[in-house]
Amino acid sequence: MADDTASIINVTNLYAVAVDSHRYDLFARVFSEDIHCDFGGGPGAAFTDLATLQAVFKDIHAVFSATQHMVQGHAVTVSGDEAHCFSYVSARFRRGLEDGEGVFESTGWYDDVLVRTAGGWRIRERVSRMVTYGGDIRVMQAMPGVDTNYTLLSLAEEAAGGRIKFLSQV
């Protein structure tokens, strides 16, 4: 169980390294082929296959001069070949704008369902929600089809509505 927990935490952290280093080939070590990822922000921010996620993330993140995703506070449950991991994320995005470098910051969470595969644990489902944001919103307006009129969600409200899968396991 402890080895599973450590492996699951490493997978969620590898996601951040892959995005920030633009190594989207690493997504094959993070996500299952049949993923369902919902990053909020409307239809342009939901994905149901790994190849599309890799291609879209490559295009979306190409405009940023730097990103930094910090994933922490992992809580993990394991039941056989399925696991749930809830973690908090803080992210920074930097991008050149017409009047200089702009920075956008956000905080939120990942609610992940993972499956054990021959290659190790992989995220099969991810729901990502934003709690706060600040900075220059123009930085994020580089993502065609993704709504930058962000909806901020409270974990307490989402939990009360039964929308946090991890909480169904504890």
The whole-number pLDDT of residue 146 equals 61
What would the pLDDT profile of 38-80 be if each residue is shown by its tens digit? Answer: 887 665 677 889 998 899 889 889 999 999 999 999 999 999 9
The whole-number pLDDT of residue 56 equals 87
What would the pLDDT profile of 101-158 be if each residue is shown by its tens digit? Answer: 999 999 999 999 999 999 999 999 999 999 999 999 899 886 666 666 678 889 999 9
Distance CA 25, CA 130 (A): 26
Average pLDDT rounded to a whole number, residues 5-14: 98
| pLDDT at residue 3 is higher than 70 | yes
Alpha helices (H) along the chain: 2-21, 50-61, 155-160
Q: What is the CATH number of the domain that holds 76?
A: 3.10.450.50
The whole-number pLDDT of residue 131 equals 95
Average pLDDT rounded to a whole number, residues 69-98: 97
Q: How far are the Cα atoms of 101, 147, 161 from residue 15, in angstroms, in the given order?
A: 25, 22, 28
Distance CA 51, CA 69 (A): 21
| pLDDT at residue 23 is higher than 80 | yes
Distance CA 102, CA 90 (A): 17
Q: Which residue has the tokens 């995220």?
A: 123
For residues 140 and 86, the model is more confident at: 86
Which of the four pLDDT bands, split at 50, 70 and 90, describes residue 15? very high
The whole-number pLDDT of residue 98 equals 93
The whole-number pLDDT of residue 147 equals 63
Q: How many domains does the chain have?
A: 1
CA dihedral (19, 29, 47, 35) in degrees, to 10, reads -150
Domain that holds residue 115: 2-169
| pLDDT at residue 14 is higher than 80 | yes
